């Protein structure tokens, strides 16, 4: 399946730092993966219009039932406001019913480092998983 490439809804201020989140989701079933994938474009659109969003991308591996997300935010509060807003909030709760595993990692980065490379996100997720 094609990835949804990095997009920049609002460029960060030059010289600023951004709050980055990477996530990995694995669904229990292939049906769950299709359900997750069908919801993804709506959530990506929501991020693109969210206050404080500086970037978003999705890596979808439907037949492996695995999804990676990557986003950059003005600060932690901007990310948390987005996560608590609709439709993300309801979609997250509904998706929990068909998730096998989820992992999240957060860090700050210079705005000049955007977009973050998938390899960096995957490395940080692997480190997070090893600590758990």
Tokens of 86: 């609709």
Measured CA to CA, the distance from residue 6 to residue 117 in angstroms comes to 10
What pLDDT, in 10s, does the model give residues 10-68? 999 999 999 999 999 999 999 999 999 999 999 999 999 999 999 999 999 999 999 99
pLDDT at 129 over 90: no
User: What pLDDT is recorded for position 73?
Assistant: 98
Residue 1: pLDDT band (50, 70, 90) is low
What is the DSSP track for 84-130? HSTTHHHHHHHHGGGEEEEEEEEEEEEGGGPSPPHHHHHHHHHHHHH
pLDDT at 110 over 70: yes
Measured CA to CA, the distance from residue 8 to residue 114 in angstroms comes to 9
User: Shortest CA distance to 82 belongs to which of 110, 57, 48?
Assistant: 48
Measured CA to CA, the distance from residue 111 to residue 130 in angstroms comes to 27
**Residue 26, CA distances (Å) to 6, 22, 57, 80, 114 in order:** 21, 14, 17, 22, 26
CB-based contact 20:111 (threshold 8 Å)? no
Q: Percentage of residues in the chain with pLDDT exceeding 90?
A: 85
């Amino acid at each position: 399946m094609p990835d949804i490439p990095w997009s920049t809804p609002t460029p960060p201020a030059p010289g600023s730092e951004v709050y980055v989140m990477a996530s990995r989701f694995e669904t229990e079933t292939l049906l769950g993966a299709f359900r997750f994938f069908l919801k993804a474009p709506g959530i990506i659109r929501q991020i693109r219009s969210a206050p404080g969003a500086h970037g978003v991308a999705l890596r979808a591996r439907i037949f492996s039932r695995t999804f990676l997300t990557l986003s950059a935010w003005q600060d932690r509060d901007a990310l948390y406001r987005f996560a608590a807003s609709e439709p993300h909030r309801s979609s997250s709760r509904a998706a929990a019913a068909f998730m096998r595993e989820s992992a999240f990692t957060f860090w700050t980065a210079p705005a000049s480092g955007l977009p973050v490379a998938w390899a960096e996100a995957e490395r940080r997720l692997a480190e997070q998983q090893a600590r758990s």
